[in-house]
Each structure stands twice: as structure tokens, then as C-alpha cells.
Chain A
């Protein structure tokens, strides 16, 4: 270390790197071990810290922020219980490959490993749910403090994105660390983007030319690599129908003629049919999750696979890739588009489009009880499909996926991989912070909304006018559906009698609350909610209690067992 080596307070170094990385807002909940950081924040007028009411809210908000902006979301918590409360949010982001940096405080370096007050083995606990993690404790790590933070951001946002955690002991953020300027290529983590191999591209174009029944399946990787335009060009140049996974929703316009919707357990009949009977699946940024495939032995038996993914471990993990391309989706598609020959629409494509007309999603809205699907469809109509939608998990999530059709990417925040109830509300707050001029709506269930209900305070204080649409059937809906369909209606543990009056809860926090009980009240209520521009609106839609999500392919089954609608 040279004599003129500059040293600055660790907390200040952290904020300096935040600025380098373009972080102007983060979601954090303080505690003893992060006081030095919050003290430095007190003077930092250019970095906004948003205080949730539970660390889980901070993590999900950072996640929602990342999904709608494409930036790395940042959350912060103190040591021990604070860090532990981030775990669900980290696991949520990990399963969906969302770029996030989580900063946690830690007890003083000499107390680590001694069962200190509010000590937890944060890095140990979070290893399985983070892309990578750091504990800045050893002197040689403290010596490269700024680079560790830079690396954390780099790892979070490059390659396959994911959450990265940095655990900082109190004395490290309070004390001095060496400051060094940024040299991105010198970073340990630096890795140029993978590019598709020419021979693989040629082979892929041959397979496309030879295919008689091709289908294009897009997943979260298309969103992450901003490849929507290229997907559309490929679909149109080659006249190939497109299905999207839950994570890929919005990556291809659902109003486009070639869009068949979402396949899988609760996918549309057409999308599932298309995959099942295809002879070529072109899979881009998707990972053959079990919700899509069902019984692997019987899934798409005749299909060859072109699999494009930035993560080499996903190729041949679940399904053999005849052509496996490890590359950024957008860059791979650019190369593929140059090489591929145009393809004419054929019998297969026409058949799929007719099939889609013959097998629409459906439900019946009568005059008495509101049917939950109707609420989502009305929201879609009134907002013209232009809102940012977050969801909770379960039936509400599936109906949102079915009936809020999206034409643009980065308008959809749903916990696909982990399926975390409670996610949607704080994610909506984070999304609103990231895109203040957009309308943001959380489609929720009465079970899910209670898991992070305390974040109503966050919304009110920060003037985030999100709309929370609770599809309130007083049940843990999706579990009740399974018990209804497969366990002889032995409803066990799903009765949510005892839900509070959500309108009064909303008002208690200073938000707007509405209760809607009749179908003809739905549209006016939504219109009214859209006029509120300074606080969250909680809309308690009292809906039919035993509505089930269809279509359904039961777990572990295949397209042959698909149930298109409720049995008569």
C-alpha cells in the first residue's frame, strides 16, 4: 500500500460504490450493526433509502424494482434476525434469476463465531439461495472493500443474474478501508458475454428449415437480455407460434397473432397442445420447469430441442438439447436471425391458430357473486393492458397470468420459481419506486396479502399509489382447489375465516379501502381506484368462494390428462 493510499470510512466507500453503480434508491431496515451505514446515509442526499416495515418487504421491493427497471435492486438489513428475514426474498430472487445486492450488517469482527448478540451465520445461511456472497472480515478482504462491492454488483447483473449478499461487520463499516478507483476488467468476476458458436447457429437454422411442427418457447431469459424485439422478428420471419412461461410473460406480445399463451400445469390448452405435439421446440431463456413439463417421460415426445440459455448448466439438465447454445439470448437471436431462412406459414401453424380460437380460456360471470377472473379481465380492459402487474401466489397468480394479457416486457412481477406468498405487495411498491409514472397493480389473494400487510405503511408514507386487488374468497384458494379435486374435498388448514376487514386495515394505515361485493360494482370501483394518486388503494373484492383454476394438468401428469374446464 503506497503512502498516499486514500482510506475512507467503510460506510462511505459503500455509498461511493452505490453511486458508481447508479444506485439512487434502496430498501433497507436498520439495526445496530448497520448504524454506521445509516449514519453516512444521513448526509447522502442523492441516495434515497426507503424503509419498509419488515425486511422481507425490503427484499421483495428490491426484487420488483429490478424486474421493472432492469437495474440491480438493492436491499439492506441488520445482522441476525434482520438478515434472516431477508432469506425468503433472496430465495425468491434466486429462483427467478433477479439481479439484487443485499447488504447486511454483522457483529464486530472479533465477535463473529462467538454467538454474539444479534449474530447469525448470514453467509452460511444464504449460500444455497444466493449467486454468491461475501463476509468482509479478514484483513485482505477489508483491503479490497470497494472492489468487493463492485464485484457484488457485477455478479448480480451479469451472466445469469441473481442475488448477491455482502455481510459487513460493524467495525468494518465504521472503520477505515482503502479506496481504489474502479477498473472493471481487473475485477475478479469479469467475464465477457458468451456468444453463440457459428456451427451451432447453422445447425439450428437447418433444424428450423426441416421442422414441420415448430414452436418457440420463451422464458425469463428473454426479459433479462431484453430480447423481445428479436423474438418477435424470429417468430414473424419464420412464422412460428410462440408460447411463454410465467417468467417470460410480456416477452412476446400476447395480442400478437402468433401468441398461444402460457403452457403447463395451468397453461392454455393451445399452448400445452402445441408443445406436446411439436417436432421442434426452440427454447430461449427458459429451463423446462416442472410446472411446464409435467411428467417428463411423456412431455413433447417427438420434439427435438434447440436450447439457448446463458447458463450452461441448464442445457441437458432436464431435457436433451440437440443444439445447445450457451449465450446471451439477444446476441444469439441476432446471429440466428441473420442466418435463418424465412419460413412460410404451414398447416401446423394454421391448425394451432384455429385450435386457439376453439379453445379459449373461459369462465361465467353471473349477476350474483363476483367471479375472480372477471375482476382481472375488467382491470385489463379498463387499464388497456398497460399497467405493471405484480401478483401474489396461487389462484390469484394464475388468473392474473390468464386474464391480464401483456404486450410489453418488464410489466410483470410474479414469483415463479419459489412461489412466495406475500411477494406481490412489496414488489409493487418497489416497481412503483422504479417507475413512478406507471400504474402498478398487485393481484392478490386474501391469504397472500396478509403476509406482508404491514407494507401498507411504506406505501402511504412514500406516496406510492399502487392498487391492491384482493380476490377475497376467505380461503387459501389453490390448496383448497387441490383438496377439492384430489383429496375428496377434505378441506384442511385452508379456512381463512378470521380475515380482518381489509377496508379498515387499509384506512388504519392511511390508505384508501374499498369493498366490492357485486359484479356491476367492479368496473366503477376500479375506475375510482385509478383516480387516487397519493396513497395505496386496497380493493377487497368479495368473490365466489369455490372457483377453480382451469385448465389444469395435475402434477406429474401430461397433456393427455388435461382438464380444460370444471367437470359438469
Chain B
């Protein structure tokens, strides 16, 4: 039964590492729902956060195959973890005078921010977990979403990370 899983892959910050990991997913047929990557507090280490939809057996294979790559330091499977999960969304919505108030009201309800206002559009910035952003986007479908971008999920497990 496929479900959504989030894994963090700690990798050496070397050229091509992203291509290696992404290529592995591609050639073994593992899907990538979202992928966020950047350096960590240790400049030599980068962190990739990948969400993938698959069953348990496939997830085990994903973690083991990724873990085999020489540049991969550690693979963390967050399936069982208590996590802090966040994603950032920028959403440009058509908002001429008649609708703007409603749109901004919805934005406030979601505790988002209007970060741009222009020729009949607003850009709303929203930070939260995936469900919150998905819910917001669903509501915005009633209006005219002109452009949208999401960062993809990043997570940290709560409490002290066992090393």
C-alpha cells in the first residue's frame, strides 16, 4: 500500500552529488514527489530532503540503495519520527479590487503574508506543513492562480538526533 514517506539524505558537499542521488531514484524507478537541498551547519555536508510515495518494502530499498552511494553519509527515514515539517509557498493570484479583500482575508486566516501587490495581482507567501499549503492552494483554485512555486518539504526530527 503506497504511502508518502520523507527521508533526509546527508551527503558530502561535492560536485555532482545531487545528480547522483536523483539519477539513482530515476534508474531504479523510485519516484520523487519533492526534493529540497542545501548546505547544513557543517559546510562539508549538504542535506537533501526527499518525499516519495511508495510501499514499505520499496522504501527500505530506497534507503539502502541511496546509502550505498559513496558520497552519502547517512540516510534518515522519518516515517516513525516526530517531526517539524515546513514548506514555503509563493502564490501569485489575480486580485483586482473586487476580490482582493477576500483573498487577503483567506491569506490572514492561514497566517500568510502578502509580499507583493501589483497590477491586479498579489503574491502571497505561506509557510507551514504540506497539508496546510495544500489546503490553501485548494481554496485559491476558486480564484485565478497565475503562478505558484513551492520549496518542497524540509523536516527535522524533534528532540536530540541519535547519531
- A residues lining the B interface (CB < 8 Å): 123-124, 127-128, 131-132, 135, 137-138, 155, 189, 311-313, 316-317
Question: Which residue of B15, B20, B57, B68 is within 8 Å of A313 (Cβ)?
Answer: B68
Q: Is B138 an interface residue (CB 8 A)?
A: no
Contact B23–A316 (Cβ < 8 Å): no
Contact across chains for A124 and B19 when beta carbons are under 8 A apart: yes
Distance, CA A311 to CA B69, complexed state (A)? 12
8 Å CB interface, B17-37 against A: 19-20, 23, 27
Q: Which residue of B lies closest to A312 (CB)?
A: B64
Is B139 located at the chain interface by the 8 A CB criterion? no
- In the assembled complex, the CB of B42 is this many whole angstroms from the nearest CB of chain A, namely 15
Indicate if the CB atoms of A123 and B70 lie closer than 8 Å.
no
On whether the beta carbons of B16 and A128 are closer than 8 Å, the reply is no
Decide: B20 and A127 in contact? CB cutoff 8 A.
Answer: yes
Interface range on chain B: under 10, 10 to 19, 20 to 34, or 35 or more? Answer: 10 to 19
Q: For the complex, is B39 an interface residue (Cβ under 8 Å from A)?
A: no
User: Bound complex: CA of A138 vs CA of B13, how far in Å?
Assistant: 13
Q: Which residue of B lies closest to A137 (CB)?
A: B15
**Contact across chains for A316 and B27 when beta carbons are under 8 A apart:** no
Residues of A within 8 A of B20 (CB): 127
Query: Is B60 in contact with A128, judged by CB distance below 8 angstroms?
Result: no
The verdict on B157 contacting chain A, using a C-beta distance below 8 Å, is no
Question: Can you sample 11 A-B contacts with CB below 8 Å?
Answer: A127-B16, A127-B20, A132-B69, A132-B70, A135-B16, A311-B68, A312-B64, A313-B67, A313-B68, A316-B57, A316-B60
**8 closest A-B pairs by CB:** A313-B64, A132-B70, A313-B65, A128-B27, A312-B64, A127-B23, A313-B68, A127-B20
B residues in contact with A132, CB < 8 Å? 69-71
Which B residues are CB-close (under 8 A) to A313?
61, 64-65, 67-68
Query: By DSSP majority rule, is chain A's interface helix, strand, loop, or mixed?
Result: mixed
- A135 contact set on B, CB distance < 8 A: 15-16
Is B64 within 8 A of A123, CB to CB? no
With A128-B27, A155-B70, A311-B68 in contact, is A317–B19 under 8 Å at CB?
no
* From A128, A131, A138, A313, residue with most partner B Cβ within 10 Å: A313
List, in ascending order, chain B residues with CB within 8 A of A131's CB. 70
Closest residue of chain A to B70 (Cβ to Cβ) is A132
- Closest Cβ of chain B to A142, distance in Å, is 13
Q: Which residue of B lies closest to A123 (CB)?
A: B16
For B16, the chain A residues whose CB sits under 8 A away are 123-124, 127, 135
Task: Find the residue from B19, B23, B68 having the highest chain A CB count within 10 A.
Answer: B68
Additional pairs, 13, CB under 8 Å, beyond known A127-B20, A135-B16? A123-B16, A128-B23, A128-B27, A131-B70, A135-B15, A138-B15, A155-B70, A189-B70, A312-B64, A313-B64, A313-B65, A313-B68, A316-B61
Collect the chain A residues with CB atoms within 8 Å of residue B71's CB.
132
Docked Cα-Cα span, A132 to B57, in Å, equals 26
Interfacial chain B residues near A124, Cβ < 8 Å:
16, 19
CB distance from B15 to the nearest CB of A (A): 7
How far, in Å, is B14 (CB) from chain A's closest CB?
9
Name the contact of A127 in the complex, choosing from B19, B61, B64, B67 (C-beta under 8 A): B19
Contact: A317 with B61, CB < 8 Å? yes
Residue of A nearest to B16 (CB): A123
- Interface-central residue, A128, A135, A138, A311, by most chain B CB under 10 Å: A128
Chain A residues with Cβ under 8 A from B68's Cβ?
311, 313
Shortest Cβ distance from A317 into B: residue:
B61
Measured between beta carbons, the chain B residues less than 8 angstroms from A128 are 23, 27
Cα distance A352–B1 in the bound complex, in angstroms: 40
Cα A312 to Cα B66 in complex, Å, equals 11
CA distance A316 to B27 in the complex (A): 19
List CB contacts (< 8 Å) of B64-104 with chain A: 64-65, 67-71
CB-CB < 8 A to B67: which residues of A?
A: 312-313
Question: Which of B16, B19, B27 has the most A CB atoms < 10 Å from its CB?
Answer: B16
- The residue in chain A whose Cβ has the minimal distance to the Cβ of B69 is A132
B residues 41-72 near A (Cβ < 8 Å) are 57, 60-61, 64-65, 67-71
CA A480 to CA B63, docked complex, whole Å: 41
Specify the chain B residue showing the minimal Cβ separation from A138: B15
- CB-nearest residue of chain B to A131: B70
Min CB distance A274 to B, Å, is 27
Q: How far is the CA of A317 from the CA of B19 in the complex (A)?
A: 24
Alpha-carbon separation in the docked complex, A124 to B60 (Å): 26
Residues of A within 8 A of B65 (CB): 313
Specify which chain A residues have a CB less than 8 angstroms from the CB of B23 in the assembled complex. Answer: 127-128
CA of A311 to CA of B65, assembled, Å: 10
- Cα A137 to Cα B16 with chains together (Å): 12
Distance in Å: Cβ of A168 to nearest Cβ of chain B: 15
Residue of B nearest to A133 (CB): B16
A317 and B15 CA atoms in complex are apart in Å by 29
Distance (whole angstroms) from the CB of B24 to the closest CB of chain A: 8
Give the Cβ gap from B63 to chain A, nearest Cβ, in Å. 9
CB distance from B77 to the nearest CB of A (A): 14
Q: How far is the CA of A207 from the CA of B27 in the complex (A)?
A: 36
Give bound CA distance, A155 to B69, whole Å: 11
Q: In whole Å, how far is B55's beta carbon from the nearest beta carbon of chain A?
A: 13
